[in-house]
Amino acid sequence: MAGDVSPIWKTASIFANIKARAAGKARYASPLDKNKGLKQMSQLYRQSAAGDAFKLTTTAITEMLSRKFRNIEPAVLFWWVFVGCVAASNLERYFGDHFGPLKYVVTMAGSAGCGWMWLFSRSLFRPAKTIEPWALLTVGAIVTVETYWHLTSGLSPGGLTGEFRRIGENAASLVCIGAISMVFVEALAGYKATLSAPERRFRRIFAGVYGGIIVIALVWVSNAGDTTLAARWGDATLVGCSIAAICLSRLALAYRQRHPLLTGNSQPRSIPRAQKHAGDERLAQRILGAIEDERVFTTPNLKVGKFAEMIGENDYKVTQCISGRLQYRNFNHFINSYRIEHAKRALLDQENEQLPILSIAFDCGFSSIGPFNRAFKQHVAMTPREYRAMHAPEIQHT
């Protein structure tokens, strides 16, 4: 029997000594402590194995999620979470009784829609592309509060259960109002600073439409009496508000992806008004000179950063001058306006009568026929082929 125990004791002793040294504990050295040592070492081994397994598992999951979502923008991620939350909330409201025990899972998934909208708006209107842990913890707290409210809403209104029910309802209302308010704070923060005119307009539209949805859903429909118009149309109105919120947020996300906020050192600094106007005028002349004299608009895939580098200026100043002083929507609209004017002249040139439209598109700086046709129709209200056909008699007589 001793021969059977000895190898086990040696293995446990070696393992225990390693763990004991790491923990600053005394090692088991005396054979007299075999029974006690075997028991404690076995327990230590099992605990360590479970701990190591948990650590390896969580590390693997974290790395997998990190690789999977590394290239996903926070705004995109939060939009999808918000859509899932809205969908779960509507499922719980109208079909909750059919889920059985899963109702509690659906209830939790449908909680904190206002919190996820806050995180979405925060990532939408802030240039930083990081997710702060405290923001996620805040939404986690909102999920907890709203889940508690849903679970206690069915309790009897009287006695001690009524107290728990009232606390949950008041707490849920408080955190929801706070999260809704923070959406407006994120959208309108720094509104009068150095934002471009299109950016300010974008924020006004977002805040206005979102505010309208909140007024309809919370001010008009919420707690409406059974005999009121709001109560009769309540379900349809809430579903409509949910769809409107998803559509609004998706359009806002698409706009932000086309017009990203400036980050880091590219953020503009406040300067005196007179100096700013004088600088804008000089910069506008430099921009127009590069476009009209050097014809840089024919450069394929020209971006604002590359153009700013060409004229030796910061990209945010170029963007502000184009949308402010020159009164274009954005850099692409500015460049395409010159490209389309050049294309119109080329289409009316008798020497280009047999030249394919695709070749003209390439000469104007477009990299393919699709963007050229869309830009041309946007500026001229017809396609290049229709424009050439309409002016064909003029070309033949020149």
Spell out the domain ranges in the chain.
Answer: 8-66, 73-260, 271-396
Q: Tell me the mean pLDDT in the region 231-236.
A: 86
Between 14-18, 255-259, 288-292, 366-370, the lowest mean confidence (pLDDT) is in: 14-18
Q: 136: number of CA atoms within 13 Å, CB side?
A: 8
- Beta carbons of 108 and 143 less than 8 angstroms apart: yes
Q: Tell me the pLDDT tens digit for each residue of 78-104.
A: 999 999 999 999 898 888 778 888 888
Reported as a pLDDT band with limits 50, 70 and 90, residue 395 is low
Fold of 73-260: Rhopdopsin 7-helix transmembrane proteins (1.20.1070)
Instruction: Let me know how long the chain is.
Output: 398
> Encoding tokens for residue 375?
């830009």
Percentage of residues of the chain with pLDDT beyond 70: 74
Mean pLDDT of 5-9: 44
pLDDT given at position 71: 57
Main-chain phi, psi angles of 15, to 5 degrees: -60, -40
Topology at the third CATH level for domain 271-396 = Arc Repressor Mutant, subunit A (1.10.10)
* Mean pLDDT (whole number) for 168-176: 90
CB atoms within 10 A of CB 122: 22
pLDDT tens for each residue of 120-154: 999 998 876 677 889 889 999 999 999 888 888 87
Over 50: is that where the pLDDT of 272 sits?
A: no
- The answer, yes or no, to whether residue 345 has pLDDT greater than 80, is yes
Global pTM reads 0.53
